[in-house]
């Protein structure tokens, strides 16, 4: 008699679409399996045009860090406390793109149609849980519930 292989399901807090791993393990976001949820997309507390501050990441001044690592991090510009404007929100992925923050290098090959190849630096997406609203008047981070009360 053959037995069916049981499928293991592993849950995680951050948003992830259902992904099948080797060995039949499925990784699913808890946001997608909430009991009685009608909207399967996780809510994002920021919108396009908001000023946000990074609440996670390495500190800008760290004496223990090697100079080479500091230089790489400065090119990326993803330090804790960095302020930027939200360019794009992707609720299906649970990510946001912030102007001038989390810069990544994109390498282009030389093609006949595009001309010269090279390295292009552009903003990479990051999880929305790593940012918090920034209030320019008080010069401190805000919770999104406070913004609802103000407007």
Across 65-74, 83-92, 123-132, least confident range = 65-74
- The mean per-residue pLDDT over the stretch 100-122 comes to 82
Q: What is the CATH number of domain 51-150?
A: 2.30.30.30
Domain ranges for the chain: 1-37, 51-150
Per-residue confidence (pLDDT) for residue 69, from 0 to 100 = 87
Q: How far is CA 15 from each of CA 42, 88, 92, 102, 132, rounded to the nearest angstrom? A: 7, 17, 8, 19, 17
What separation, in Å, do the N-terminal and C-terminal C-alpha atoms of the chain show? 65
Closest of 43, 56, 40, 37 to residue 148, by C-alpha: 43
Residue 89 has pLDDT above 90, yes or no: yes
Per-residue confidence (pLDDT) for residue 101, from 0 to 100 = 92
Residue 80 and residue 60 in contact, taking contact as beta carbons nearer than 8 Å: yes
Tens of pLDDT, residues 127-140: 998 999 998 888 99
């Amino acid at each position: 008699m053959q037995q069916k292989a049981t499928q293991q399901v592993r849950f995680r807090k951050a948003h992830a679409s259902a992904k099948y791993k080797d060995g039949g393990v499925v990784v699913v976001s808890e946001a997608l399996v909430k009991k009685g949820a009608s909207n399967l997309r996780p809510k994002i507390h920021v919108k396009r045009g908001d000023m946000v501050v990074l609440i996670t990441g390495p500190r800008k001044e760290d004496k223990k860090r090697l100079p080479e690592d500091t230089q790489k991090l400065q090119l990326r510009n993803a330090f804790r406390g960095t302020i930027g404007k939200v360019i794009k929100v992707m609720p299906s992925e649970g990510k946001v793109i912030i102007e001038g923050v989390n810069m990544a290098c994109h390498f282009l090959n030389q093609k006949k149609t595009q001309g010269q190849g090279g390295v292009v630096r552009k903003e990479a997406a990051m999880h929305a849980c790593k940012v918090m609203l920034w209030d320019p008047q008080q010069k401190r981070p805000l919770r999104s519930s406070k913004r609802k009360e103000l407007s």
